[in-house]
C-alpha cells in the first residue's frame, strides 16, 4: 500500500499565524520585542534578510573604503551574493569543511586579506557555524564579521543567541523561517554605534514602495490563511510538484532570485502582525526542539545516514547527509513530491547557479558541491505526524540498504 498523507507538511517549521495576530493591539513594537529577547540594545527592521545584509555591508564599506571583498561559504543562500553585489562589493567564496556547511578555517584564512571587508559565518537550518573562528580570522586582517543567522532566529551558542556573536548579525523573517511577516529582516550589532550608521544608510538605500508593501500585505494575509494543513497543498505543494514534474528544480525550490530585489520600509500592519506573534516564538521553539530530539535518533540509527545536531540550535527541519548523491537522489525520487515536507536545502553550491555568473574563489569548492549533492531536509513542522515520520524513516532505510 502506498503511504497517503492526508495533508501537506510545510518544508520547514514556521511559526503558524492565527487570526488573532491579524488585528488588535500589539504588546510593543516588533523591534523592541526582538531587542529585549535577543539581549541587544536595538534592532533595525528591514524588508528582508537580504536587504538587512545589504545595508550592513554598505555601512561597513563606508568605514573601510579600500576593502571590497566579502567572504562567504560556497554553500549558502544565493541571495547572499546578490546582496553583496547590491552593496557594490565582491563576493569571495570559501569552500566548506568536508561533509559540512561551515567554512573550512584553513581556506577561510587563505581567502582573507587587506581587501576583505567582512566575513559571513553562516548558520543553516538552525545548526550553528563557528563564529569564534570567523571572528579571529576576520579581525586578524582588520575585517569585520556579519553573522548570517537568517535561518537561526532563537538558536543559541554557549547560551547566547546566534546572530549576536559576530560584529553584526542579521535574521530573516521570510515565510517559513521561524517568525514570519512574509518578508522581513532584523539587523543587530555588537557595538551600539553601528545602529545610527545603519539608519543613515537605510535612509539612503531604502525607498517607500507602496506597491511592494501592498503585495507583501496580501501575501502575509494569504500566508496567515493558508499556512495550515489544509491550505498548504494549494498554496505551496501543488505548484512545487508541478515544477518538479517539469524538471524545473529552481522553481520547485523557490530559488529564482532577482538581483533587483526590493528595498523598502515594512508597513505598520505587518510590523504589528510580527509583534503579536512574537510572544509565541519561544514556546514554539521549545516544542519543535522537543520533537526534533525525539526524532533524530531514529534517523541517526540508519546506517550511512548522518543527522546534523548540536546543543542550543533551533529545528526548522532535520538536515541529513547521505552516503552519496545517487542514494540521496533515490530517496528524493520517492519523497520529494510526497507531501511529507522532504526536500533539499539549497539546490546547488553557489558557482552552479547560472544566474550568479562568475564568483571569485568558485573554481575550487569540491566540498560545497559534495554537500549540495548529498544532503536533504525533513520538515520539523508539528504537522508532520509520527506515522508520516516513521514512513520517511522506512523509505530512507530501504533505499540506503538496497544500494
Ligand X SMILES: *Cc1c(COP(=O)(O)O)cnc(C)c1O
Give contact residues for ligand X (rule: CB under 6 A): 48-50, 76-77, 79-80, 122, 124, 148, 150-151, 172, 174, 185
Read off the C-alpha cell for 239. 505548484
Whichever of 177 and 197 has its CB closer to ligand X, that residue is 177
Q: Which residue is nearest to ligand X (CB)?
A: 49
Whichever of 124 and 157 has its CB closer to ligand X, that residue is 124
Q: How far is the CB of 102 from ligand X (least distance, A)?
A: 12
Whichever of 205 and 298 has its CB closer to ligand X, that residue is 205
- CA nearest 274: which of 235, 220, 315? 220
Strand 185-189, strand 306-307: pairing: unpaired
Q: How far is the CB of 330 from ligand X (least distance, A)?
A: 26
Q: How far is the CB of 4 from ligand X (least distance, A)?
A: 31
Q: How far is the CB of 381 from ligand X (least distance, A)?
A: 17
Q: How far is the CB of 83 from ligand X (least distance, A)?
A: 8
Q: How far is the CB of 50 from ligand X (least distance, A)?
A: 3
Whichever of 112 and 345 has its CB closer to ligand X, that residue is 345
Whichever of 116 and 172 has its CB closer to ligand X, that residue is 172
Read off the C-alpha cell for 147. 553573522
CB 15 within 8 A of CB 182: no
C-alpha distances (whole Å) from 256 to each of 79, 82, 150, 251 are 10, 12, 18, 6
Whichever of 51 and 116 has its CB closer to ligand X, that residue is 51
Burial 245-255 (b: 16+ CB within 10 A, else e): eeeeebebbbb
Q: How far is the CB of 2 from ligand X (least distance, A)?
A: 33
CB 52 within 8 A of CB 34: no
Whichever of 150 and 318 has its CB closer to ligand X, that residue is 150
Amino acid at each position: 500500500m502506498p503511504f497517503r498523507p492526508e495533508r501537506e507538511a510545510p518544508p520547514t517549521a514556521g511559526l503558524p499565524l492565527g487570526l488573532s495576530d491579524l488585528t488588535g493591539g500589539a504588546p510593543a513594537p516588533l523591534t523592541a520585542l526582538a531587542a529585549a529577547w535577543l539581549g541587544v540594545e536595538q534592532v533595525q527592521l528591514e524588508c528582508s534578510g537580504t536587504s538587512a545584509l545589504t545595508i550592513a555591508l554598505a555601512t561597513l564599506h563606508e568605514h573601510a573604503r579600500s576593502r571590497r571583498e566579502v567572504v562567504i561559504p560556497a554553500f549558502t543562500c544565493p541571495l547572499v551574493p546578490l546582496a553583496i553585489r547590491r552593496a557594490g562589493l565582491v563576493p569571495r567564496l570559501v569552500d566548506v569543511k568536508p561533509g559540512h556547511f561551515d567554512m573550512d578555517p584553513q581556506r577561510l584564512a587563505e581567502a582573507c586579506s587587506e581587501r576583505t571587508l567582512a566575513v559571513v559565518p553562516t548558520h543553516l537550518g538552525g545548526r550553528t557555524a563557528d563564529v569564534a573562528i570567523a571572528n579571529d580570522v576576520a579581525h586578524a586582517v582588520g575585517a569585520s564579521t556579519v553573522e548570517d543567522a537568517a535561518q537561526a532566529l532563537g538558536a543559541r551558542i554557549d547560551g547566547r543567541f546566534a546572530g549576536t556573536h559576530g560584529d553584526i548579525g542579521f535574521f530573516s523573517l521570510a515565510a517559513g523561517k521561524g517568525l514570519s511577516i512574509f518578508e522581513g529582516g532584523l539587523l543587530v550589532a555588537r557595538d551600539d554605534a553601528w545602529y545610527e550608521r545603519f539608519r543613515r544608510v537605510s535612509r539612503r538605500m531604502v525607498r517607500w514602495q507602496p506597491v511592494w508593501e501592498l503585495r507583501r500585505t496580501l501575501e502575509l494575509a494569504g500566508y496567515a490563511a493558508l499556512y495550515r494543513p489544509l491550505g498548504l497543498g494549494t498554496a505551496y505543494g501543488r505548484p512545487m510538484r508541478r515544477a518538479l514534474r517539469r524538471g524545473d528544480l529552481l522553481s520547485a525550490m523557490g530559488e529564482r532570485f532577482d538581483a533587483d530585489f526590493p528595498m523598502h520600509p515594512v508597513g505598520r500592519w505587518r510590523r504589528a502582525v510580527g509583534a503579536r506573534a512574537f510572544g509565541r516564538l519561544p514556546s514554539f521553539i521549545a516544542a519543535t526542539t522537543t520533537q526534533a530530539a525525539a526524532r533524530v535518533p531514529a534517523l541517526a540509527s540508519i546506517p550511512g545516514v548522518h543527522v546534523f545536531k548540536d546543543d542550543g540550535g533551533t529545528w526548522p527541519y532535520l538536515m541529513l547527509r547521505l552516503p552519496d548523491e545517487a542514494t540521496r537522489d533515490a530517496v528524493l525520487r520517492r519523497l520529494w513530491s510526497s507531501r511529507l515536507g522532504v526536500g533539499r536545502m539549497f539546490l546547488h553550491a553557489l558557482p552552479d547557479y547560472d544566474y550568479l555568473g562568475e564568483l571569485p574563489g568558485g573554481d575550487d569548492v569540491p566540498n560545497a558541491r559534495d554537500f549540495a549533492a548529498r544532503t536533504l531536509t525533513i520538515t520539523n513542522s508539528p504537522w508532520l505526524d509520527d506515522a508520516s515520520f516513521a514512513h520517511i524513516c522506512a523509505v530512507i532505510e530501504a533505499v540506503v540498504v538496497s544500494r
